[in-house]
Amino acid sequence: MSANSLPVRGVSPSGEGIPVWHSLEVNQALNLLNSNADSGLTPEEVQQRWQKYGDNELTENSGRGSWEILLDQFKNIMLLMLIAVALISGFLDFLAWQAGELKPGEVPFKDTIAIMAIVVLNGILGYVQETRAEKALAALKKMTSPLVRVLRSGKLMEIAAKELVPGDVMLLEAGMQIAADGRLIEESNLQVRESALTGEAGAVSKQANLILPEETSLGDRLNLVFQATEVVQGRAKILVTNTGMSTEIGKIATMLQSVENEPTPLQLRMTHLGNILVIGSLLLVSIVVVGGVIQARGFSNLRQLLEVSLSMAVAVVPEGLPAVITVTLALGTQRMVRHNALIRKLPAVETLGSVTTICSDKTGTLTQNKMVVQSVYTNNHVFRVTGEGYTPTGDFLLDGQTILVEDYPEISALLLASAICNDAVLQKEQGEWAILGDPTEGALVTLAGKAGIEQDQWNSKLPRISEFPFDSERKRMSVICQVEEVATGEASLTAVDPLITSLIESEPYLMFTKGSPELTLASCTQIYLDHKSAPFTDAQRQQILAANDQMASLGLRVLGLAYRPMLEMPEAGADEKYEVNLVWLGLVGMLDAPRPEVRAAVQESRNAGIRPIMITGDHQLTARAIAIDLGIAQEGDRVLTGQQLQQMTDQELEQQVDLVSIYARVSPEHKLRIVQALQRRGRIVAMTGDGVNDAPALKQADIGIAMGITGTDVSKEASDMVLLDDNFTTIVAATKEGRVVYTNIRRFIKYILGSNVGEVLTIASAPLLGLGGVPLTPLQILWMNLVTDGLPALALAVEPPEPDVMNRPPFSPRESIFARGLGSYIIRIGIVFAIITIILMLWSYNHCQMRLVEGLDPEGLDPERWKTMVFTSLCLAQMGHAIAIRSNNKLTIEMNPFSNIFVLGAVVVTTILQLMLIYVPPLRAFFGTHFLPPTELAICFGFSTLMFVWIELEKLFFRLIGKKSV
Ligand code: ATP
């Protein structure tokens, strides 16, 4: 069968004529797909197959259809109440129409029509926002969509997962999310978590050499891997068999998690507030109606009572608020992405502003993750190594003199181990040396290259047959090689490279181990000196440990190297059995310079009351040197090691956790305990992580942060936020944005709710003051709540940060939204707002009555126009409020009016719109307003400025008594 008759998208692989991959031998599978295990596909083959199979992508299904999302919008209690108001108002209009009470030219049912239009518009807006937010989040997620490693034309390269085609040879390692279905070609201790597919939580061991019966169930196909499952441990080479929708997960794509678009705590609280307001307003309505009926001893004034009630019900509800909050959060995520912080879960935007503790990894986040070996320690000698970056040229110096590596057998053997016990590949890209793989390993390949020890050459002399891969728990790795000639008996030992023969006697296998010096040293029983292994003395061990401390205290990352000749090939996964009785080679110390910009970010976070903590797998002295350099810790500060942590109870750890700023030699499981201990102390913790095992800690943290560049897919999936540049500075920038978003949300909540309180009080007072009639119709109130309040509120949402935003401690995320004076502000301003409007209402009512009685009004002026004066003053006063509320403490004249041009714009546009409602006849007819002569309009403007003046005076007063409002 040729590649042309491969399974096609959507067709079951066990269907007619389609290969059953798990029942095939590796070679059969490779033949069927016209691929090659060593070189993969050629670019032409890839192109052809891509044309046939398309992108390796799943069509995501969010789980809810468009109709469902649209219908969900109307489940909102505020909209339901508006619908009820529309129906009652329609009924009243119907009565008026029947009784012939409509004025000439008046549009019947206009309140009902307008309210329903607003309900529908709100629903559509909500729908558009929700679908757009889902799409935006999905698009953002794609930015971190995984890269995969493949062999193409014999070259190892990284490509986007969606570019995979059947026949590709893909390489897997721990932490990767598998991007397509495939048949194992070879594997080393491969453990895969397939819960996404089978629901089975535990990891499954996979084996390449199995051939399984056709009927084997999905969960038992141990020689296959499946898309969307995760590599927990080990490595493997895979032949891609199915991509896109024809993978197993593709066939059940609906099971895929939908894009997470959870409501934020604030949104939930706002929904709750909305419910309370609706219930409150219904209560108010019943009180007004029942009270009115009792007072009138009958239903004679029921209509008027109903009109007042309807207006109050509409006035109390902040119809525009949910939309403004959603838009603000969305804008916040966009600003954060510009700072390289990608939000994966919306609630994170809000929580970020409350973070009190940032637990950061060292390597890559605080440091540059560009490792360069600076010194090598063997046989009591410290060799200094020169050279820059990953360029494999440089000298080895002993006591300032350049030496020839060949003259020192110990260093030669150590460099061989560095090159062989290594998964990184050093290659030239566009004229520059670069590494593919882990920078720690890259530094070691580069080091070996400086002595002319080239990986490729030695890999063929010592082919790798097995390995015990690295993980942060074990803090080491080993590879087992075959000494080709000895194993196959093809040549006598004399034909073998002398360097190798100095490591073995006649054993056919050689294991090289590298890892944390303390652990590696503890596994050694001999030391390699002068071309052979010799017993290890205690004095030698002490010297090595002292040299390790010396290197680490300079901030170097130190690795120990060792080897072991072996008679038999080790069993997979039996690392504890084989990584013993090793022969010690030496130490390598590499520099990973701190990121220069981090110092300022650490200082900024301290000023903001946020404590940075370093959590690292590295040595305590290395960690301390770098932490002190960056200002995270000070000389003499306590460092807690993983070992010490292990011996502590949770209570003991909780007592220490506020005092320790450096955790060294920790394992990922310790990270989880640290977060939990901090959280028990009431801290709001942001925690970084990159490995598979970091996922639980990332999930537990209030903000789990994954690394965009070096992070595994599993850690990204568990995170709330991804750092696109892996940089600590980005975390601090994101917390700042979080604070700005929260401050702005509080600002417009104050603005909108203050206005609502003012409206309700004004409406309620009209009948009490015996003015007869409702000053504002439901339609006018909706206009105010949605347009004249809504536009400036949106503009306030993009208010730039106040200068002290990072000079104050974080606020608790659990505080009420009304905390810190917000509730009292709303009531106070609402009352002031109402008092100003009521004074104007009384004056204008009397003024209009008087002019009517005295016959001073010219033809066409309506005596009811006092209502329009009230309506206009309420709207205009809100404009003054919008301008003044931009800062809590600064007077408006102290601020640059152009620093938020949107507020100015919103004020101008809204004022013009309001004037159009009065002076454009069709709008006037529709909104039920009346023409106002210029003097009366000027009076409205005059009264409205009182609001602005009041808020400015308040600021002055608070400044005088030394109270800072936030
Ligand atoms: P951080 O948690 O700050 O990123 P880290 O990168 O030093 O710290 P790990 O990657 O878990 O943490 O490494 C822990 C230790 O394991 C290192 O100090 C080193 O001794 C050893 N180590 C790191 N990388 C390798 C590797 N590729 N091979 C063998 N040992 C390694």
Q: Please tell me if the CB atom of residue 438 comes closer than 6 angstroms to any atom of ligand 1.
A: yes
Residue ranges of the chain whose pLDDT lies below 70: 1-17, 59-65, 102-107, 129-130, 132-145, 196, 199, 201, 252-264, 484-496, 772-773, 964-966
Q: Which of 487, 429, 435, 482 is nearest to 460 (CA)?
A: 482
Query: What angle (nearest 5°) sits at the alpha carbon of residue 488, between those of residues 485 and 491?
Result: 40
Q: Tell me which residue of 178, 228, 185, 229 sits closest to 207, measured CA to CA.
A: 185
- Cβ-proximal residues to 651 (8 Å cutoff; 6+ apart), any chain: none
pLDDT digit string (tens) for 36-84? 999 999 999 999 999 999 888 876 555 566 787 788 777 777 788 888 8
> Around 345, how many Cα atoms within 13 Å sit in the side-chain half-sphere?
22
Q: Tens digit of pLDDT for each residue in 386-421?
A: 988 899 999 999 998 999 988 898 999 999 999 999
- Structure tokens belonging to residue 759: 């409206």
**Is residue 345 within 8 Å of residue 138, measured between CB atoms?**
no
What does the pLDDT read at residue 812? 79
Query: Is the minimum distance from the CB of 833 to ligand 1 under 6 angstroms?
Result: no
Query: At 818, phi and psi to the nearest 5?
Result: -90, 5
Q: What predicted TM-score, i.e. pTM, was given to this entire model?
A: 0.77
DSSP per-residue codes, 5-73? GSPPTTS-TTSTT---GGGS-HHHHHHHTT--TTT-B-HHHHHHHHHHH--S------SS-HHHHHHHH
Distance CA(535)–CA(529), nearest Å, equals: 10
Q: Check: CB of residue 377 under 8 Å from CB of residue 383.
A: yes
Look at residue 4 in the predicted model and tell me its pLDDT.
39
Q: Is the CB of 173 under 6 A from ligand 1?
A: no
Kindly report the protein residue whose alpha carbon is nearest to atom 9 of ligand 1: 617
Pocket test for ligand 1, best of 235, 446, 472, 641 (most atoms within 8 A of CB): 472
Segment 482-487 long-range contacts (CB within 8 Å, at least 24 positions apart): 482/508, 482/509, 483/507, 483/508, 483/509, 483/510
- Residue 470 Cβ contacting ligand 1 at under 6 Å: yes
**Tell me, what's the pLDDT at 137?**
59
Residues 117 and 107: beta-carbon distance below 8 Å: no
- Please state, in angstroms and rounded to a whole number, the distance separating the CA atoms of residues 641 and 376: 25
> 303 phi and psi, to 5 degrees?
-65, -45
Backbone dihedral angles phi then psi of residue 224, each to the nearest 5 degrees? -120, 155
Both tokens of residue 498? 């002398």
56 within 8 A of 146, measured Cβ to Cβ? no
> Closest ligand 1 atom, CA of 559?
20
pLDDT score, position 257: 44
Atom index in ligand 1 nearest the CA of residue 475 equals 16
Convert 273-304 to b/e letters by CB count within 10 Å (16 or more is b).
bbeebbeebeebbeebbeebeeeeeeeebeeb
For residues 284 and 568, what is the distance between their CA atoms, to the nearest angstrom? Answer: 86
Q: Which of 627, 648, 647 is nearest to 637 (CA)?
A: 627
Does ligand 1 have an atom closer than 6 angstroms to the CB of 726? no
Contact 560, 587 (CB under 8 A): yes
Provide DSSP, 932-949: --HHHHHHHHHHHHHHHH
Whether ligand 1 lies within 6 angstroms of the CB of 363 is answered as yes
Task: List phi, psi (to 5°) of 644.
Answer: -65, -40
- Percentage helix, strand, coil for the chain under 3-state DSSP, each rounded to 5: 50, 15, 35
Closest to 330 in 3D by CA, of 582, 598, 140, 79: 140
Token couple for 185: 């070609």
Active site residue 399: no
Q: Say how many C-beta atoms besides its own lie within 10 A of residue 117's C-beta.
A: 12
Q: How far is the CA of 518 from the centre of ligand 1 (A)?
A: 13
CA distance 844 to 863: 10
Residues 616/620/621/624 CA torsion (nearest 10 deg): 60
What is the whole-number distance in angstroms between the Cα of residue 177 and the centre of ligand 1?
21
559 CB-contact burial (10 Å; exposed 0-12 / middle 13-18 / buried 19+): buried
Catalytic residue among 93, 361, 702, 720: 361
Please tell me whether residue 104 adopts helix, strand or coil conformation: coil
Best CA proximity match to 733, nearest among 265, 337, 330 = 337
Distance from the alpha carbon of residue 660 to the mean position of ligand 1, in angstroms: 21
Q: What token pair was written down for 4?
A: 């042309």
Q: Is the CB of 441 under 6 A from ligand 1?
A: yes
User: CB–CB of 265/305 below 8 Å?
Assistant: no
Provide the token pair at 817.
Answer: 């939204």
| Whole-angstrom distance, CA of residue 482 vs CA of residue 570 | 12
For ligand 1, the distance from its centroid to the CA atom of residue 368, given in whole angstroms, is: 14
